[in-house]
Amino acid sequence: MATARVINVHDNSPAHHAGLFVDDEILSLNGETLRDVIRYQILTDEPYLDMSIRRGGIEMDIQVEKQAGEPLGLEVHSAVFDQIRTCDNHCEFCFIYQLPKGMRKSLYLKDDDYRLSFLYGNFTTLTRFTEADLERVIEEGLSPLNVSIHATDAITRNDMLRNRRGGPSLRWLDALLEHGIEIHGQIVVCPDINNEEILEDTLCTIYERYLSLKSVCVVPLGVSRHSNEKRMRPHTKEEALSVLRIVEKWQEIIHKEVGRNIVHAADEYYLVAGQPIPGAGEYDNFEMYEDGVGIVRTFEREFVGEIDKPTNTAAGFFAWVDGAPPEGYRAIRNTAPNLVFRNRKNSPIGILTGEYGALVLQQLLEPFTRKDIRIITVKNHFFGGNVAVAGLLVGEDIAKALEKEPEGHRYLLPDVCLSQGKFLDGLEPADLPRQVEIISTDGIALKKALGVKHE
């Protein structure tokens, strides 16, 4: 039976006064067995709670009285109490299939759970979606959801997902939009499979049928050196330029129809194609930031002072695993604390980042006065292939880069490559050969750490 295990009880909270303790297991609330933190939060808004719990193997009932909407004052162990709905697609481009062996077990879990889409921004293909799921999403207003579209042509989508339900499952997209659920779509473009004419067809179908989508992000596939799929390969510069031309064409068509940009290309396409990043006005509130759309422009605006509060909520590709907060991406990020070594405040600075981050930072740092700041580009040997984002850097590769660097300098590392204080390969910052300062992955934090000013 699904249970929620208590991992913290807040002092002077209703839960504390009712006598709840850490390690209590919640069996039911007001007679309902809990499946996930979504129902937990809805039910605990009630002023009167009849809780059935298990403590040390003994079941007991506890009554709680509080104000309607007042937090119960518990933290639970996970966002999902029953089994996570795993993915039964076999996409060639799936990054989970491209992970090396020996990483922690949770990273290999391939989900297709609409609840994790609502809570953490994961993408669902809807191939395991049901009428009961639709009813719940509508009734509880589980919006927004993120949906992997990839192609609207049924045969192509079946092929890409390696699932005969791929094409037919888009009927759920129609149903969700019809009932006013906010949907962010994603198209992972694979060369020779769903680019060129297929991408044109997909964006044309979005124009004809899915204009109520909140946004659609067109992203390139990532190919690690561990991929065994012969058809999967990175985009060439010419292919990236072709994707941008198609996206920009349909941006213009759709904008004329609805007055806003729905379709966006990920920043990576502009970097691969060697094209300038679009201006801030092209992004419509940067709603697909977590999927790589508008990251560069947002970072730049933060760094030069156009934005005085960081907008970064992204926490990396594996943000939902390993003790992620039940509140999901709506919660304040719980990252490793900044490690600031003030005795080295005036020392030369090395900024550790991935290959794409280095391209961005080189342009940003040119106008600033301090000349003892350098960029340390960390090549991702661990994953290899075309993996070049900072969020997938691992301790092993960072350590190799730092071994060549002098002692006594300051080394800045973005927190996006850490999950609960660890890199994806299990190493921690303390394992690195040089001390590092962990800073938030936004332009404001970097500028503050550098202490730079405009000339």
Please name which of 427, 419, 422, 392 lies closest in space to residue 325, comparing C-alpha atoms. 419
CATH code of the domain covering residue 150: 3.80.30
Same domain assignment for residues 110 and 155: yes
Using alpha carbons, select from 194, 271, 203 the residue that is nearest to residue 237: 271
Residue 323 lies in a domain: no
Do both 188 and 48 map to the same domain? no
Q: How many CB atoms are closer than 10 A to CB 440?
A: 18
Angle between helices 443-450 and 295-304 (to 10 degrees): 40
Indicate if 433 and 346 belong to the same structural domain: yes
Q: Are residue 64 and residue 103 in the same domain, yes or no? A: no
Query: Which pair of tokens denotes residue 234?
Result: 């990175």
- pLDDT value of position 286: 56
Amino acid at 53: I
Q: At what angle do helices 295-304 and 355-365 cross, to 10 degrees?
A: 30
Question: What element of type H or E holds 14?
Answer: helix 14-18
Q: If you average pLDDT over residues 130-137, what whole number do you get?
A: 97
Q: How confident is the model at residue 323 (pLDDT cuts 50, 70, 90)?
A: very low
Sheet with 48-55: list strands edge to edge.
Answer: 58-65, 48-55, 25-29, 4-9, 74-76
Residue 359: count of CB within 10 angstroms of its CB: 17
Adjacency order of strands within the sheet including 437-439: 373-377, 349-353, 410-414, 437-439
Q: Domain ends where: 18, 42, 76?
A: 76
Residue keyed to tokens 């993996």: 387
CA geometry: angle 91, 96, 100, nearest 5 deg:
130
Report the C-alpha gap between 342 and 332 in whole angstroms: 26
Together in a domain, 278 and 350: no
Is there a domain that residue 83 lies in?
no
**CB distance 378 to 352 below 8 Å:** yes
Q: Is residue 307 part of a domain?
A: no
Q: Find, among 69, 30, 20, 63, the residue nearest to 47 by Cα.
A: 69
| pLDDT of residue 372 exceeding 50 | yes
45 and 135 housed in the same domain: no
Q: Which domain holds residue 380?
A: 342-450
Tens digit of each residue's pLDDT (9 = 90 or more) over 38-60: 999 999 999 999 999 999 999 99
| Section 129-137 average pLDDT | 97
The CB-side HSE value for 142 (13 A sphere, CA atoms) comes to 27
- Looking at the domain assignment, is residue 130 inside a domain? yes
Last residue of some domain: 45, 76, 107?
76
**Residue 300, φ and ψ in degrees, nearest 5:** -60, -45
> What CA–CA distance (Å, rounded) separates 395 from 418?
9
pLDDT-derived band at 330, boundaries 50, 70, 90: very low
For residue 279, the model assigns a pLDDT of 85
Residues 238-251: what's their mean pLDDT? 97
* 131 and 239 share one domain: yes
Q: Is 421 left (phi over 0), alpha (psi -120 to 50) or beta?
A: left
Is residue 192, in this structure, part of any structural domain at all? yes
- 317 inside domain: no
Please check the confidence at residue 27 and state whether its pLDDT lies above 50. Answer: yes
Instruction: Give the span between the Cα atoms of 273 and 248, in whole angstroms.
Output: 14
- Residue 28 inside a domain? The answer is yes
- pLDDT the model gives residue 318: 52
What's the rounded mean pLDDT across residues 181-205? 97
Q: What is the pLDDT of residue 78?
A: 86
Q: 240: Cβ–Cβ under 8 A, 6 or more apart, which residues?
A: 220, 269, 272, 273
Domain presence at residue 304: no
Which of 147, 285, 270 is CA-nearest to residue 217? Answer: 147
Backbone dihedral region for residue 369 (phi beyond 0: left; psi -120 to 50: alpha; all else: beta): alpha
Statement to judge: residues 239 and 118 lie in one domain? yes
Q: Are residues 72 and 213 in the same domain?
A: no
Residue type, 220: P
pLDDT at 307: 80
Task: Give the CATH number of the domain where residue 29 resides.
Answer: 2.30.42.10
Out of 228, 260, 293, a domain closes at: 293
**Do 53 and 152 belong to one domain?**
no
Q: Is the pLDDT of residue 402 over 60?
A: yes
Rounded distance, CA 97 to CA 79, Å?
Answer: 24
Residue 68 sits in the same domain as residue 106? no
Whether residue 433 is predicted with pLDDT greater than 60 in this model: the reply is yes
Task: Assign 333 a pLDDT band (cuts: 50, 70, 90).
Answer: very low
Which segment of 15-19, 331-335, 343-347 scores lowest on mean pLDDT?
331-335
- The H or E element that residue 28 is part of is strand 25-29
Per the model's pLDDT, the better-predicted residue between 101 and 284 turns out to be: 101
Residue 89's identity, in one-letter code, is N
State the pLDDT confidence band at 395, using cuts at 50, 70 and 90.
very high
Enter the tokens of residue 414: 């973005």
Provide the mean pLDDT of the chain: 89
Query: Among 49, 31, 28, 36, which Cα is nearest to 140's?
Result: 36
Q: How many structural domains comprise the chain?
A: 3
Please compute the mean of the pLDDT values over residues 349-362 and round it to a whole number: 94
Q: Are residues 24 and 62 located together in one domain of the fold?
A: yes
Supply angle C-alpha 48, 53, 55, rounded to 5.
140
| Residues 89, 110: Cα–Cα separation, whole Å | 9
